[in-house]
Amino acid sequence: MARRRKGDAVSGWICLDKPLDLTSTHAVSRVRRAFNAQKAGHAGTLDPLATGILPLALGEATKTVPFLMDADKTYRFTIAWGTTTASFDREGAVTATSDVRPTVAQVEAVLPRFVGEIEQVPPAFSAIKVDGERAYDLAREGVEVELAARKVTIHAARVIPAREGDASDPNHVEIEIDCGKGTYVRALARDLAEALGACGHVSALRRLRVGAFTVDRAITLESLEDLCHRGAALEALLPVETALDDIPALALTAEDAFRLTQGRSVVLLPRQVETLKARLAASRTVSATHGGKLVALCEMRAGRLNPTRVFHLT
């Protein structure tokens, strides 16, 4: 007999505005406790020194986490000129200094070099594994880590102008980027400083978007815990399918929906096939629904929907 999970069968997403100095793991733990949820996880780690969007999955939503890992993201960060650190953020030891202070115009002139598909060498202080060990663990032990360049995509990059009435600050520049998965902001800051003949590191970092999860949908940890304390936690819960915003959905009959929940395939009508083909990109993934609720994620092949992940939502 299967052991019953502790907690409540809560399913959905939380668009958390993660505070400074909190690890992603601790954020998951606090949200899980607040909901007394049976299961919880996050889609993409956010460093303790960073704030902003950390999508957290509860219950059945954890089955959709892989689809959010590849989502585009938006970051806003500040580069502090004058010092380079070992980790390329404010936590690392200073490794070099310089009196060079690039102007906004100079930064704007070199930024286009880093837009598009580019080769980027991840920082040594990263979670990438080297011979079975995390690169940041080796770096902290003083081991020299050389990571291979990898292709990443930066869709857009722009300098954020000083707010009206604020004096310009020659020691800092604020930048916002839209990027694909695997992009390291600290590596971009390193490469920008090098291109400008300066020293610099990331002094502040905020994630503004992960796929469909944006700051206007976000909730702080304190506000969420207050809602849970007042018994109004469901006000902050987003639907399981929020992570599937770019996957075409198909409404099915009760009979076909039941077949999918049993792990059996469903034969599509020709018009359904044509409709889905027009909406499918490189992936063949389709989200099947019934009565407005997600039933299964399927792969469409040869006019059939074959279930790959089945959901049990009440």
Question: What are the residue numbers of the active site?
Answer: 47
Which long-range contacts link 20-23 to residues 24+ away (Cβ below 8 Å)? 20/48, 20/49, 20/50, 20/51, 21/48, 21/49, 22/48, 22/221, 23/48
Give the integer Cα–Cα distance in Å for 25 and 42.
8
**Dist. CA 311–CA 313, nearest whole Å:** 6
Residue 154 is which amino acid?
I
Can you tell me whether residue 54 is helix, strand or coil?
A: strand
Question: Of the candidates 74, 155, 159, which has an alpha carbon nearest to the alpha carbon of residue 109?
Answer: 159
As given in the structure block, the two tokens for residue 174 are 């604020």
CA 3 to chain CA centroid, nearest Å: 32
How many angstroms separate the CA atoms of 151 and 70, rounded?
Answer: 14
Burial string for 206-236 (b: 16+ CB within 10 Å, else e) reads bbbbbbbbeeebbbebeebbebbeeeebeeb
Question: What's the gap between Cα 126 and its chain centre?
Answer: 16
List Cβ<8 Å contacts ≥24 apart for 168-172: 168/104, 170/81, 170/101, 170/103, 171/80, 171/81, 171/82, 171/101, 172/78, 172/79, 172/80, 172/81, 172/203
